[in-house]
Amino acid sequence: MTKICCIGAGYVGGPTMAMIAKKCPQVQVTVVDINEARIAAWQTDDLPIYEPGLLDVVKEARGRNLFFSTDVDQGIKDADIVFVSVNTPTKTFGEGAGCASDLQYWELCARRIKEVSTSDKIIVEKSTLPVRTAEAMERVLHAGDNPVHFEVLSNPEFLAEGTAIEDLECPDRVLIGGHQTESGQKALQALVDIYATWIPRERILTTNVWSSELSKLTANAFLAQRVSSINAISALCESTEADVADVAHAIGTDSRIGSKFLKASIGFGGSCFKKDILNLVYLCETYGLTEPANYWRSVVTMNEYQEARFVTTMLHSMFNTIANKRIAVLGFAFKADTGDTRESPAIKVCRKLASEHASIVVSDPKAMDNAKLEMPELADDIEFQEDVYKACDGAHAVAVLTDWKQYKDLDFQRIYDSMQKPAFIFDGRNMLDHDALYKMGFEVYSIGKGRKTHLK
């Protein structure tokens, strides 16, 4: 029986290993992590992350061929294949601060693998890493007098939170990079065979290691670029009375462009887009490619502008002051169907509202605990309310920041009746029926669509 160990039980490692275990009963999968609480949660029905469909997948394989453990060393020793899926956040110190990936956890894993391994292993990079990181890992693994041979592969994840199980079950592609050597190709084929258990072979792409590493960063950069591009147009639409939804539809019907990632909003969030773009910026700068670096940095700049512009619109619309006004923030997760709040636009929006002395109340169906952790400095200044109607009671304005489907079905007449007048609603996701809200009496503001106001 092939034995897999995955170091890291987070948003990538947990779901990916659960799907492999479900689809490959002949493979023993052990997920290890030093976080005892997280490992304990994976062994209950209250999983440490929220992802639609994940619990069913875990329950099908857990205890059969899917295991969770804090014994990292034993997991590594027993494994034939070790996936490294640890956090690689943006550096906040030293050279490359603000752009480069912080690889300290990744290097600690590499050193631990080398120290405890007693048999040859395939090491799979699952974390998002800079180009040529595999080369550095190989140098760590093979440093000194070590008889154990390690073959390093790149297998980046392309999961979207909220649809991760669908993405794992039926991916657009699986990408595996390996060395063009006999041992490299043998290791690559071993991983291909695992995925080929349920994924058509034509969707499993194989490249060299460096192309695989760069493809991950490039994919996220291109997706984020589309978001920033339509958001830039949304600002122009508001000034020219064009409708950004009409513009997006018109250009999206062009087969060369397509319609995905062309929905104007307050901006992108999550753990990947900003981090990966800044990583790409740092790589370009490292190789002296100033113009490409500036080009990709502008994608992040545009996103930050959109977040700030949203609050500026709120401030100016509400008579240039929101001090002591109750603002109900609906949604704190960076997108619907996840509890993940990392780099959520709601963080910057709430901080800017707080800087204007607004009275903020946050509501989210899945991200309340994470929301509290994101802004510890404002813990005493923000109210957290799970009940949406209580959050909106007495509010001067409602700001919709996450596109949860249930927000479309709220009783907005009830909300309007409970609010201070004039009652403002700022739809940061362009997901509500603006005409209906206007007829109820709301002052309606959206992204790239202008305003609907009763005020003269």
pLDDT band with cut points at 50, 70 and 90 for residue 106 = confident
Split at pLDDT 50, 70, 90, the class of 99 is confident
186-239 pLDDT per residue, tens = 999 999 999 999 999 999 999 998 899 899 899 999 999 999 999 999 999 999
pTM of the model: 0.90
Q: Contact at 8 Å (CB) between 277 and 302?
A: no
Q: Percent of the chain, pLDDT > 70?
A: 99
* Residue 344's pLDDT band (cuts 50, 70, 90): very high
Give the catalytic positions in this structure: 272
> From residue 383, how far is each of 186, 345, 357, 360 by CA, in Å?
56, 18, 14, 6
Per-residue model confidence as pLDDT tens digits over 399-435: 999 999 999 999 999 999 999 999 999 999 999 999 9
pLDDT of 367 above 90: yes
pLDDT given at position 135 = 78
Strand partners, 121: 150
pLDDT-derived band at 131 (thresholds 50, 70, 90) equals: low
Query: What gap in Å lies between CA 124 and CA 127, rounded to an integer?
Result: 9
Residue 98 has a pLDDT of 81
| pLDDT for res 8 | 94
Task: Report how far residue 25's alpha carbon sits from residue 298's, in angstroms, rounded to the nearest whole number.
Answer: 46
Spatial separation of the C-alpha atoms in residues 349 and 133, rounded to whole Å:
35
CA distance 409 to 350: 24
- For 337: left if phi > 0, alpha if psi spans -120 to 50, otherwise beta; the answer is left
Q: What is the full DSSP assignment across 106-171?
A: HHHHHHHHHHH--S-EEEEE-S---TTHHHHHHHHHT-SS----EEEEE------TTSHHHHHHS-
C-beta of residue 454 within 8 angstroms of C-beta of residue 441:
yes
Q: What is the pLDDT of residue 222?
A: 97
Bridge partners, 154 (sequence order) = 125, 177
Tokens of 26: 């002949």
Average pLDDT on 437-451 reads 96
Element (H, E) at 308: helix 290-317
Q: Which DSSP string corresponds to 45-105?
A: SS-SS--TTHHHHHHHHBTTTEEEES-HHHHHHH-SEEEE----PBP-SSTTTTTSB--HH
As a whole number, mean pLDDT of residues 52-79 equals: 97
Pairing of strands 359-363, 424-427: unpaired
pLDDT tens-digit readout, 140-195: 888 877 789 999 999 999 998 889 999 999 999 999 999 999 999 999 999 999 99
Domains of the chain plus CATH, in order, are 2-207 (3.40.50.720), 209-456 (3.40.50.720)
Helix and strand counts by DSSP (H, E) for the chain? 17, 15
User: What local confidence, expressed as pLDDT, does residue 455 receive?
Assistant: 86
Instruction: Please tell me the predicted confidence (pLDDT) of residue 130.
Output: 64
401 within 8 A of 346, measured Cβ to Cβ: yes
**Which pLDDT band, with edges at 50, 70 and 90, does 100 fall under?**
low
d(CA 256, CA 247): 15
Average pLDDT over residues 300-318: 97
